[in-house]
Structure 1
Amino acid sequence: MSTIPSSPASAVSGSAPPPPPDVVEDCMGIVQLLSDGTVRRSLDYSHLPMLRHVPSDLPVQWKDVVYDAGNGLRLRMYRPTTAGRAEKKHPKLPVLVYFHGGGFCIGSFEWPNFHAGALRLAGELPALVLSADYRLAPEHRLPAAHRDAETVLSWLRDQAAAGTDAWLAECADFGRVFVCGDSAGGNMVHHVAARLGSGALALGDRVRVVGCVILWPYFGGEERTAAEAEAEAMAPSSEFDPGKNFDQMWRLALPDGATRDHPAANPFGPESAPLDDVRFPPVLVAKAGRDRMRDRVAEYVARLRAMGKPVELAEFEGQGQGFFVFAPFGDASDELVRVVRQFMCTCTATSHG
């Protein structure tokens, strides 16, 4: 746990130093918000279900790149090394921009689980994958993460124009860009799609987002859904359940005083901008059958379809929230990769006429 500087000694001789600040919120022992507004972060994630071994023989190269020097933000770039990685019709690879989950409060592309998932996606789609970190709450409350997602795409736009990164210059098809994310990252993908479709985020002529992949998105709302109420009523289990921290993470991530109906959390909340006239690219949404947010995911798909948005739903019954993260080489993850690959192929065929 990082340390907090000790309080300065009192100028009054003999007076006792002020008491240390209290812990207001303790999120999984990783993030602690103190009563004086400071934050402690631990680098010990050993109590989380992390992969202990990531295969080292996958045919993928990777490197870390700074995309926002001012905020010290990086992304990890992955490219497949397999011969014939791109089709003859498309000699360069599609670009998949990926945002990890973690309730906007924890997570990094460096975590073994996210690293392993990105390796799979790069090698098996195949694609040039850009797995990006972003500013975390409560040090940086929303919409900081949403703005960072836009910065990644703006950085990609600048790379397409300048050609300074050798891997992008050699391998990237900037006309086939996909934006993908899981949980909080899926929430970020929605907001990127809305900003693109409204014209608030401009990428010019060099970069074209042809599809979005939203995996079990982390949305919220003040009114409980049936699935959320059911999950709260169940007795605690020994199985790791990221959902039990969702309310706490919203308190840490949203602006001070905001409720879960804030536009950053609830895309259909009372203060959220209408989406009827926003032009969305094709969207693939993955819903996990045991996810306590499954009702919100289903409503999201239904509402977008009612507006005429091109939305495809992939359902994974029996799976929990984040199954691709916690078991990136499992059977359900095999099917997810297949579904994403098919979606990308369809989007490519449609976008190229």
Structure 2
Amino acid sequence: MSSSSSSPPPHVVEDCRGVVQLLSDGTIRRSPDPIFPVDSDRDDGSVEWKDVLFDPTHSLFLRLYRPRPSHELSDYDNEKLPVLVYFHGGGFCIGSRTWPNFHAGCLRLAAELGVLVVSADYRLAPEHRLPAAIDDGATALLWLKSQAEAEAGAGADPWLAESADFSRVFVSGESAGGNIAHHMAVRFGPAGLNPVRIRGFVLIMPGFSGPDRTRSELECPADAFLNLELFDRYARLALPRGATRDHPLFNPFGPESPGLGPVETGPVLVVAAERDILRDRDVEYATKMRGLGKRVELVEFEGQEHAFFSRMPWSEPAGELVRVIKRFVDDLSNEESV
């Protein structure tokens, strides 16, 4: 009787908040259950929403949010609304437009900004490593461009045809979504999606990195919502295989990153959080972009941790963030179009 040795069962080698697990045999487990539940009772019905397929090739959907006609909007001169494109966070590995926390945040943005929100999904790592998410962000914006081109004819989504002012579009995102928003600014700028005009970009605690540890990374406590171990795990799973934290998709100013000096990005609002592991990266980003002559505003929220907006979308700090974004949107919406 021959003897044979059995291999040990696969074990978890990488775990992202229990949502995504990479096993030793290369298998990936992904839970369909959302995390970060929020208070659903705060939805007062002032915003309507629906899902739309924007990329049939990859089966990607976006969620449109529109303030109902009876809801009091901002004091804009015409009936059509500015458009805010929003990319969710999650380290490029987890998250969806359907998660209750991201959904709640977009409800609040639509209601309190008086805008039409476009919350777009993107492919997630490690099944789809970068640049997949960046490419999907571009696909979402190109879809918006196609909607603007079809506005006067057949084929446009009725909500966008009725309510969207394509001359006042803003591109935003939180954490990984803020990284995507940066790359959209570099790729398209204000005028690269004509007839869409992007008035500004909103980077909320954007996810950037580099080869050397910053002070906020080194001093980040282990019990922080986003700590150093988890941040590095996201990077390992999201970046192309063999890439380092200095990769151009993570480090806009790295040795292999394209020079941003001649790039017209338009106005950028950078939101940082004092107790965020990414705080120093975000401040550095704003400082260096200003040094390149870019129009960049930096707002830092004292006492807040990473992703405070999407984790606590109904909180007062989240409300203050919405007011900051509203000022940015209102000011740029009222500027003369170039």
Q: Considering the TM-score relative to the shorter chain, is it more than 0.5?
A: yes
- Superposition map of 1:160-309 within 5 A: 160-163=148-151, 164-197=156-189, 202-204=192-194, 206-231=195-220, 234=221, 236-237=222-223, 240-241=225-226, 244-309=229-294
Q: Under a length normalisation based on structure 1, what TM-score does the superposition of the two structures give?
A: 0.89
Alpha-carbon distance in 2 for matches of 1:342, 1:86 = 11
* 1:262-297, Cα deviation, whole Å (9 max, x unpaired): 011111111111100000111111111110111101
**Counterpart residue number, 2:101:** 113
| Code of the aligned partner of 1:74 | F
Alpha-carbon distance in 2 for matches of 1:242, 1:97 = 28
Alpha-carbon distance in 2 for matches of 1:306, 1:282 = 14
Q: Secondary structure at the match of 1:71?
A: coil
Alpha-carbon distance in 2 for matches of 1:216, 1:44 = 25
**Counterpart residue number, 1:65:** 52
* 1:38-73, Cα deviation, whole Å (9 max, x unpaired): 31111244xx54214352314000000000011010
| C-alpha distance 302-240 of structure 1, shift in aligned 2 (>3 A) | closer
* 1:13-56, Cα deviation, whole Å (9 max, x unpaired): 997776544433222222112333331111244xx542143523
The question of whether the paired residues in 2 share the 8 Å contact of 1:103 and 1:183 is answered with yes
The answer to whether residue 68 in structure 2 is matched with residue 81 in structure 1 is: yes
The question of whether the paired residues in 2 share the 8 Å contact of 1:54 and 1:112 is answered with no
**Counterpart residue number, 1:24:** 13
Structure 2 stretches lacking a partner, 5+ long: none
* Larger CA deviation: 136-145 vs 317-326: 317-326
* 1:293-313, Cα deviation, whole Å (9 max, x unpaired): 111011000000001100011
| C-alpha distance 14-44 of structure 1, shift in aligned 2 (>3 A) | farther
| C-alpha distance 21-219 of structure 1, shift in aligned 2 (>3 A) | same
* 1:90-141, Cα deviation, whole Å (9 max, x unpaired): 3210000000000000001111111110001001101000011100000000
| C-alpha distance 326-242 of structure 1, shift in aligned 2 (>3 A) | farther
* Larger CA deviation: 49-58 vs 160-169: 49-58
Alpha-carbon distance in 1 for matches of 2:92, 2:130 = 8
Let me know the Cα RMSD of the aligned residues.
2.1
Q: Secondary structure at the match of 1:155?
A: helix
* 1:195-237, Cα deviation, whole Å (9 max, x unpaired): 11499xx423x21111000000011112100111111xx4x43
Q: Secondary structure at the match of 2:335?
A: helix
**Counterpart residue number, 1:37:** 26
Alpha-carbon distance in 2 for matches of 1:116, 1:173 = 23
The question of whether the paired residues in 1 share the 8 Å contact of 2:60 and 2:122 is answered with yes
The answer to whether residue 126 in structure 2 is matched with residue 138 in structure 1 is: yes
Task: State the Cα distance separating 1:162 from its structure 2 match.
Answer: 1.7
The question of whether the paired residues in 2 share the 8 Å contact of 1:178 and 1:210 is answered with yes
Alpha-carbon distance in 2 for matches of 1:79, 1:270 = 42
| Code of the aligned partner of 1:33 | L
Alpha-carbon distance in 2 for matches of 1:81, 1:194 = 34
Alpha-carbon distance in 2 for matches of 1:72, 1:242 = 32
Q: Under a length normalisation based on structure 2, what TM-score does the superposition of the two structures give?
A: 0.92
Count of aligned pairs: 332
* Larger CA deviation: 18-27 vs 33-42: 18-27
| Code of the aligned partner of 2:46 | P
Alpha-carbon distance in 1 for matches of 2:33, 2:119 = 22
Q: Quick one: percent identity of the two aligned structures?
A: 55
Alpha-carbon distance in 2 for matches of 1:341, 1:247 = 33
* 1:63-84, Cα deviation, whole Å (9 max, x unpaired): 0000001101001100001435
| Code of the aligned partner of 2:178 | G
